[in-house]
Each structure stands twice: as structure tokens, then as C-alpha cells.
Structure 1
Amino acid sequence: MSFSYRVWNPAVLSTALGCGLLFASCSAPAAPAAAPPVISPDSTVRVAAGAQYLRGPVHRFFWGKHYRRIWATPVEAPVFNLRTAVPGGLTPVREGGSFQTKNLRLLDRNGTEYVLRSVDKDATKALPEGLRDGPIGRLMKDQTSVINPYGAYIVAPLAAAAGVYHTNPRLVYVADDPALGEFRKSFANALYLFEERPEGDQRGVSSFGRSAKVESSRKVFTNLAYNPRHRIDARWYLRARLFDMWLGDWSRREDQWRWASFPAAGGATVYRAIPRDRDHAFFKFDDGFFTHIIGWVKSNYQSFHQKIRLSDVEGLNRAARPMDKSLLVYLTAQDFEQVADSMQRSLSDPVIADALALWPKEVYAQAGGEFTENLRGRRDQLKAVAARFYELLAREVEIPGTDQPERFVLEPAGAGQLRVSQYSLHAGRPDSLVGQRTFSYQQTRSIKIFGLGGNDVFELRGLPDHRFAIGIYDGAGQDKVVLQNAAADKPANVMVYDSGDGNLITVAKPVKVEPYVPAATEFDAAGWLLRHRLF
């Protein structure tokens, strides 16, 4: 049996390994969900997020304990009232969400957007209909228990202390409210997280930087690839990524982000990252026989333990790797160390304790001690994790241009060192520096430079150390590749990939020129977006 799916949920993989060995456990129905609670006069309820995830000892042995007890523990939550949640009330406008989380978008009287995000998840929508109600579908749904249902609830104060933008989720219970209108049947009688939706004008929200324009990853990456006047605050993004690792949040693909925009000098725009969707923070997966095996095979399914194994840093960041390679390319090892050190000092023991105290007391009683130890232990590793993260990104470097004219300068900077500078070209005025970094052959194996669109200039001021594998990809436009001050008998490992569209290539013999047909992801800005699953 084969099928495609678009979600992280490891139950599909678990099924392949284990259903044949433990079919009775896979096919056994979960405990039925509890009936809707009676609404109390003080507008609060006591309700469990997912009593159906409680399972017997045999099932837990093979498929994991996960967070089953927390899912089944009743907690107190206020009843959500659309008429009074914000001044002037809220109007439901659109159902959305991923293949796991059910979302309801809401508008206030000023047009500000909010969202209700379901605490319980259902990844079976990614399966063919014929599989959703069978053993595979039931097991896939059961593995929702790897998520801490109240994990996102404590992220906001931790992010605030770390200096990372964040949403501000509140735990609420949506009753069978007529104000839901056409969405009443789908959304009534369940727990949700109610939060601001990071989109559009957010000048009233300090945790989004009071940005007048918050934009999607698709919009931002399009702007970055088409125009060098748009740029990312790379250190800010690095801070957010280290925070992801601290939380054990491995599902950080491009759609998990929004971007606060700010005007800069010369008509430029700077973007700062807003992480969203913390469903996979504090992931607990490897505590079952079969799920532990899956964890060996799929190293990105990393569990939230007291220590981050440095050998696991690559897997922990696999989903975000295309973003990391593009956005962090000009940061140095010192940048990584400084950001990690700053975060480590800001995430003090009292900060951790205050955040965990926000949990419902029943949840804290079960997980407070474990989370305190884990968050402290992982915090103390941040500098080592940042150093490992830098090493992984520094091995194979990719430097993208834009669809505007640019000049890339490569020049030896000492024994085993190579300085790469990227300039934006302007008619009638000096070139402006976009980014610059000095690489060491001891850390970096290869450097690939993609001109993308525009009439670009690639200038080699001498031959790079032959221990660097240098690739120059011309992309679209009529480009120039020039080698200066090079001895013909000096070894080199430089390849110019010439698409044959009118380029002028003036290089000495050690530099090789090879005709090629650019891949879509190498040709221009639109192609570069394919690397980020955004085109």
C-alpha cells in the first residue's frame, strides 16, 4: 500500500513497521470523547482536551506514553463569548487550518484578525478517504498524543524573555454558541487557543513589534528574491531559530512564519521573523517500542529531553534548512555565539518558573517538574548547540543574488581564507554592500553563488584556495565573469556554469567553464522560491 501525505504525523510510518505485528492494538478503537460539559453560571468549564488518547499498557508499550495523561486530565477554561471577547465583539469569517489543526478566523469591528486554533488535532484528512476510519487512520489520530496540548500556552512568556516575537494564545472553551453561525456545527464544544493572527496592520500588538505591515513568507521571500532593497534581520531570525531548538520545535517550514516589516534608510524594508504555530514544541515521541524505532529512521522526529544531542542538531533543523541556508549566509560564528549567549542569560530560572506557573494546576502537577529540568538543561546547552548549528550551515554554502544586477567579489584573505562580498549595482551611483563574509576551508567545503536574474558581475581577485570547491551559476541575464591577478600554474577548484545566454567570461586556464542548462531553482527569483516551497 502506498499513498502521499503532507503532514508530519509519524503514525503513518509507525503503521508500516508495526501494524502487522500488533494489528489488534492498531485497530482497537480509542476511548470515546467525553460529552460536552454543562456550562456553569460563572462561565467556566472543566473539560479534558482529549480523553480518547488514554490507552492500556500494551498499546502504550508499543506506541508510546506520550502526553496521554495530560490530554485526559480535565482542566478549567473560560467559555468563549464572541460578543465580549474584544470590544465590539467578533465575527466568524472563514474556516482554515492545516491538515492537523482546525482554525476559525475572526474579525473585530476594526478589521483586526484573530483566530481560534483547535487544541485537539486530526491529521487523518491527509489520508485517502478509504483509510481514515480504518486501523491506519485510528493510529494516526492516536499519535496526536505526542503533542503537549498546552505547550503553546507557555511559549509566549518564554519568547518575550528571549526577545522573540510571538502570538499570545489564551485557552478557551467554545460552547454551542449560535453566534458561530454557519461554523457552529464544526467548532462547537471543544477547547481552543484564541490569539491574534499575525497579518496586516499590527501597530497595536507589541509582541509583533508594532509593525504596520505583517506579511506572509510567500510575499517576503518574493520580495527578497526580486529586489535587494528588501532584507531580513538575520540576527533576529537566528534568535528565533535557537529558540525553536530550545523548545524542541522541529517543524519550522516556511509557512510556520510571518514577518514584521519596518522601513529602513534609502527606501529599504527590513523584515523580522514572527514564529507561529507551536504545535510541535515539546514533542514527545520516542517512548514507545515502535515509535523509538521510527525516531532512529526519521531523525527530525526529535523528542523534548533534558539534553539536545549535538549529533541530532541536523535532524532537528531539517525542515527549516532551506530558510536557514538562505537567510543566515552572512552571519559569522561570532554572531551565533553572541546570540546564544544573550538568550542563555535572558532565560533565567525565574523566567522558566513563571512561564510554567501559567499552566492549569492539574497540568503543572503532572509535567511542571519534568519541564523545569528539561528547559534548564537545554538552556545551558544553547551555546554548544549554536556552535554546532553554525558548523552544519558552514559546510556547504549557497549565496543567492536577486533578479536585479549585482556584483559578487571573491578574493583570497590569507592562507585557507576566502572573502565573498555581494554588492547591489546602481546606475550613476556607487555600488552598495549587501553582505560580506570570510570563509575558512577548515569549516567550508563548497561555496555556490547563484546570480539569478539581472546582468551580474562575478569578479575573482585571484584564485581561491583549491580546497574550496567554488561554483558560479550565472542564471538569467547577460553576466560577466572576470578573473584578475591569477597565476596560470596555480591549482584551482572553480567551476563557472555557463547557460550560454550571452555571458562574457574572461578567466585564466585553471578556472573551468562548463555549459549547462540551469535548473528551475537556479535560474531566477521565481525559481529560487521553489527551494522554499513558496512558488
Structure 2
Amino acid sequence: MSFSPNVCSPTLLGSALLSVLLLDSCSAPAAPAGPPPTIGPDSTVQVAAGTQYMRGPVHRFFWGKHYRKLWATPVEAPVFNLRTAVPGGLTPVQEGGSFQTKNLRLVDKNGVQYVLRSVDKDATKALPEGLRDGPIGKLMKDQTSVINPYGAYIVAPLAAAAGVYHTNPRLVYVADDPALGEFRQSFANALYLFEERPEGDQRTVGSFGRSAKVESSRKVFTNLVTNNQHRIDARWYLRARLFDMWLGDWSRREDQWRWASFPGAGGATVYRPIPRDRDHAFFKFDDGVFTHIIGWVKSNYQSFHQKIRLADVEGLNRAARPMDKSLLVYLTAQDFQQVADSLQRNLSDQVIHNALALWPKAVYAEAGGEFTENLRGRRQQLPAVAARFYELLAQDVEIPGTDAPERFVLEPTGPGLLRVSHYSLHTGRPDSLVGQRTFNYRQTRSIKVFGLGGNDVFELRGLPDHRFAIGIYDGAGQDLVELKTTTDVAKAHTSVTVYDSGDGNTIRAAKPVKVETYVPAATEFDAAGWLLRHRLF
């Protein structure tokens, strides 16, 4: 069967499948983009981010209103001048971007890097070429309207108040500027966000903590495996993650972060997170028949409403779950509540008002009232969201070591309680505590401890409550697993399994502790598997 543009009959529209394919052609035509505005030096322009997203009533009914009005609303933006944007000017050096955003990297005379990030997006890059210009590609491109084109613009002042590191995007219009050189055709005549690129020496940038060395997730996670002298500031990371939830930003995969490094005690390096790429903050998806259905199936596609769905906190955080499980493992429920309470106090009504006031007047007139109510409502939920977030992470716990020698002590401290202590082993001086946490079987059903590399020690000071499923994974190196107890355990009931990869370990733990041979999988914390687990290869 072949389809043509003249098949907008009620019979065809009655089919959900054909609606998926045809609604784009049955809707009102997109408004023409029009010629680029006439531009003088250092001038401003009135331009809309995407008039093509204004669709007819049938299309909006099935595929959502989203932020279509904002995309079609003309705003005033300064014309970006590469010669005067920073002292000494900027030179474009590299085109990049994700599946959706088009980026242009710029460098100043001192080697400091900046980036232009396209306001308009194109998710069809993720499709095979043959599908990009067809009905599926057109529909996928149309759904760019779920993104608030000016959302990232207000995140910086909100993050500053929240105590979260941030970039400082400025809305600019890039004209047909000869200074773009080889990138002129691809980047001219469009709206962009211009911001610092968080990498390298950032001692002059307060919103990056004035860190002398900002690094990528791949580099930082590689360092975290090496030894426990490299550590994440877990409370800073938790603050950033709760801030993500407040914004409704569900796309927080590993590459959406950079890390500011600072010297810690005893020669350690401490990393604090710099969230970047706020394209999915304030996501609005569930206001069409089909998108509403998809939103229930894909629970990570959560819309920015006045209330956060507590039942779907897991979905909201699915993209960042591997990072959350690794980096927050030693924080307690009290830590989660303290950070949530602090965040709630910092995000006052005045902070919200001042941030929204930075929007262009036409944007504020359209969305200011809605955003004020939504941000206030979601702020009140932060303690409850933090509690639910903690509960989800506490259910199945994974404790990673490093490739350096370490000692893990598992010690029952009462009925249904188990304390896990993680130490760094040193020659000639006492072991140093890396992290410690007490688990309750009412919250936690399984605990896995991964030694990774090095000659590690796993010490069981008594048998854990049988309601915990305990897994000890040796990793590389010649490890010692030892059960230390003065009581007869032959008839005791426990659920401890030692996973022995067979590389010369010493296991001094008789029944009821089980020993199983295994080959480490790439999804586990066996050195290179750490990076595979975190999708950084």
C-alpha cells in the first residue's frame, strides 16, 4: 500500500497506526521560517526559535500542545559577534553535539574554550538515514516541541541559589558571519546558547568552583577505579541530583556531567559535579492522546507539572541510576533529608521570581505564571522525593572497591542490621576508613561488595541476618575471605555467597557461607567493567 498527502479521511484517521504515520501531513502546515532578518553590527534581532512546531488542532490533540507557542514566539536576541564576544575574539575550531543538539566549539586567545549550543534540536540523527525524511522522522523532529527552548536560560540563577555548579548560557543569534569560516553554512542564521565549556583550568569561573582542573566523566571514573585517593563529594552530587528532579530533568546520563577537582586531605583528589546540557529540563510531553499513553509506558518521559509523581521517582532517575548507585552508596537517609531541606530553604519564592524574570518579556508572559506555580509546588515535595529516592537506592546496594588493596568488614550490629565498613590498606600505618554504612533488612534486600583489583580482604565478623542476600565478588588479585566468629555456625541460616574467580584466593569460611565459581561479567565492577557499566566506552 502506498500513502499520499491526500489521505486525510476519517476512516484512515480512525486507525491508531495510520495516525502515527499520517497526522503530520493531516495537520495545518508549518509556518514558513521566512528569510533571515536584516542585521547590522552589534545589533539585536526579533526571531522565533521554531515556527515550524506550530501545528493544527488535530495534530495537537494527538501529539500534544507541548511548548509550541513558545517556539513560535519571537524574542529579542543580541547578534553574536565572534570578534567582540570575549576580549581578543573567538575562533571556531570544532563541530560537535549529541543526537539532538548541534554544537560549535570556540577558543579564545588564551585557549579557554566556549561552546555555541543550538536552541533548536534534531533527534532524527538517531534514526537510520532512510527514515529521517519520512513520516517517522518528521514526527520525531516535531516532538522537539516537548523541550522549552528557553529552559536552560533560567537554570543558572536557580542553580546558583541551590548551591549547584552550573554553566552560564546566554541567548544569542548567530548571523551569516564570515568569521564562522568553514562552519558558516551549518551554523548561520539561528538561535544559540553561548556558554563556557567546563573543561580544563577554570580558576576564573566561580560557577565551576574555580577549579584548576575540570575533567570528563570518563577520566574521573577511570581515576575512581585506580585507588580511593580519588573520591566524589557525595553530598554535592546528591544536591545536584535532587535539583535535577526539581527541574524535571530526567536525561542525566554520564556524559551530561563534568567534574571540578579539588585537593583533599592526605593527598586525595575530591570531585564535585558540574551538570551540563539542560535540554530536557521542564519537559512537557503528556498533553496529547498518544504522548500521554507513551508517557505511561516510558516512565522516564515525565512532564514538568506542579507535582512530582512519587510513584515514578525511579523512572525520573533511570538514566542516572548506575551513577547514583555507585556515588551515593555511603550516604544515609538522614543525609538525604538534610540536603533536601537545605535545597528547599535556598529555593525561595524570590529566587524563583528573579530567575523567571530573566526570560524575554514575551516568554515570561506566556509561561511565567505556570512555571512559578510548578516550581513552588515541586519545591514543597523535595523532602518526600528525597525519601523515596533513598528508599529506591537502598533496596539493592552495590559497594565498589578500587584496584588498590582494601579491606571490607561486614559486621552484624543487631537484629536485622548489618554494618559495612570499607578501608584502604596501608603499609606501615593504620588502615584508613573510606566509607561506612549500617543497613536495615526492612529497607535493603541485597548487598553486593566488589573488590575489583588489588589483594583485598573481606572480613565477616559474624553471620549477617539471613534476610540480607550478601554477595562478595573478589575481582582481580589474590584476596582473603574470612569468617570470624566465636559461635557455632554449622547449623546457622544465612544468605552469604562468595563469588570466586579462581585466581588464587584464600577462603576461610565454612558452611553456611556458600562459595561459587564465576567469570566476571562486563556489567560488574571488575576494573574495565566499571566503565562499561557506566556507558563510558
* Range class of TM-score, shorter chain: over 0.9
Matched with 2:323 is: 323
2:41 matches 1:26: no
Matched with 1:204 is: 204
2:273 matches 1:283: no
TM-superposed deviation, 1:415: 1.5
In the TM superposition, what are the counterparts of 1:307-318 in structure 2 within 5 Å? 307-318=307-318
Matched with 1:260 is: 260
**Runs (5+) with no aligned partner, structure 1:** 1-16
Instruction: Give the letter aligned to residue 51 of structure 2.
Output: A
How many Å separate the matches in 2 of 1:18 and 1:278?
Answer: 33
**Runs (5+) with no aligned partner, structure 2:** 1-14
Deviation string 1:452-508 (CA, Å, 9 cap, x unpaired) is 111111000000111111000111111110001143222111011111111100013
- SS for the counterpart of 1:320 is helix
Matched with 2:512 is: 510
How many Å separate the matches in 2 of 1:129 and 1:529?
Answer: 30
How many Å separate the matches in 1 of 2:214 and 2:387?
Answer: 31
In the TM superposition, what are the counterparts of 1:113-512 in structure 2 within 5 Å? 113-485=113-485, 486-488=487-489, 489-512=491-514
- SS for the counterpart of 2:337 is helix
Deviation string 1:231-256 (CA, Å, 9 cap, x unpaired) is 00000000000000000000000000
Q: Is the 8 A contact 1:258 1:273 kept in 2?
A: yes
Q: Is the 8 A contact 2:42 2:81 kept in 1?
A: no
TM-superposed deviation, 1:20: 2.1
Q: Is the 8 A contact 2:456 2:480 kept in 1?
A: yes
Aligned length, in residue pairs: 519
Q: Is the 8 A contact 2:400 2:525 kept in 1?
A: no
How many Å separate the matches in 1 of 2:295 and 2:467?
Answer: 36
TM-superposed deviation, 1:35: 2.0
- SS for the counterpart of 1:520 is coil
TM-superposed deviation, 1:40: 5.0
TM-superposed deviation, 1:439: 0.4
How many Å separate the matches in 1 of 2:383 and 2:263?
Answer: 32
Q: Is the 8 A contact 1:50 1:72 kept in 2?
A: yes
- Could you say what the CA RMSD is over the residues aligned between the two structures, in angstroms? 1.2
Matched with 1:6 is: none
TM-superposed deviation, 1:524: 2.4
Candidates 515, 519, 526, aligned match of 2:521: 519
Deviation string 1:86-107 (CA, Å, 9 cap, x unpaired) is 0000000100111100000000
Deviation string 1:421-470 (CA, Å, 9 cap, x unpaired) is 00111122211111000000110000000111111110000001111110
Q: Is the 8 A contact 1:26 1:136 kept in 2?
A: no
Matched with 2:8 is: none
State the identity as a percent: 86
Change (3 A) 1:519 1:240: same
Change (3 A) 1:22 1:214: closer
How many Å separate the matches in 2 of 1:524 and 1:315?
Answer: 27
Q: Is the 8 A contact 2:203 2:209 kept in 1?
A: yes
Q: Is the 8 A contact 1:412 1:461 kept in 2?
A: yes
- SS for the counterpart of 1:522 is coil
Q: Is the 8 A contact 1:420 1:436 kept in 2?
A: yes
Q: Is the 8 A contact 2:453 2:526 kept in 1?
A: yes
How many Å separate the matches in 2 of 1:108 and 1:515?
Answer: 56
Instruction: Give the letter aligned to residue 369 of structure 2.
Output: G
Matched with 1:11 is: none
Instruction: Give the letter aligned to residue 466 of structure 1.
Output: H
2:60 matches 1:93: no
TM-superposed deviation, 1:108: 0.5
How many Å separate the matches in 2 of 1:75 and 1:329?
Answer: 45
TM-superposed deviation, 1:30: 3.7
How many Å separate the matches in 1 of 2:17 and 2:205?
Answer: 48
How many Å separate the matches in 1 of 2:33 and 2:61?
Answer: 22
Instruction: Give the letter aligned to residue 224 of structure 2.
Output: L
Instruction: Give the letter aligned to residue 384 of structure 1.
Output: A
How many Å separate the matches in 1 of 2:488 and 2:466?
Answer: 13
TM-superposed deviation, 1:42: 6.0
How many Å separate the matches in 1 of 2:416 and 2:227?
Answer: 33
Matched with 2:534 is: 532
Instruction: Give the letter aligned to residue 508 of structure 1.
Output: A
Matched with 1:3 is: none
- SS for the counterpart of 1:413 is strand
Instruction: Give the letter aligned to residue 516 of structure 1.
Output: Y
Q: Is the 8 A contact 1:27 1:139 kept in 2?
A: no
TM-superposed deviation, 1:510: 1.1
Matched with 2:3 is: none
Q: Is the 8 A contact 2:263 2:269 kept in 1?
A: yes
Matched with 2:37 is: 37
Matched with 2:11 is: none
How many Å separate the matches in 1 of 2:369 and 2:135?
Answer: 35
How many Å separate the matches in 1 of 2:440 and 2:432?
Answer: 25
Q: Is the 8 A contact 1:405 1:424 kept in 2?
A: yes
How many Å separate the matches in 2 of 1:117 and 1:83?
Answer: 18
TM-superposed deviation, 1:31: 3.5
TM-score, reference length from structure 1: 0.96
Q: Is the 8 A contact 2:146 2:283 kept in 1?
A: yes
Instruction: Give the letter aligned to residue 288 of structure 1.
Output: G
How many Å separate the matches in 1 of 2:290 and 2:34?
Answer: 28
How many Å separate the matches in 2 of 1:523 and 1:68?
Answer: 44
Q: Is the 8 A contact 1:54 1:69 kept in 2?
A: yes
How many Å separate the matches in 1 of 2:144 and 2:525?
Answer: 40
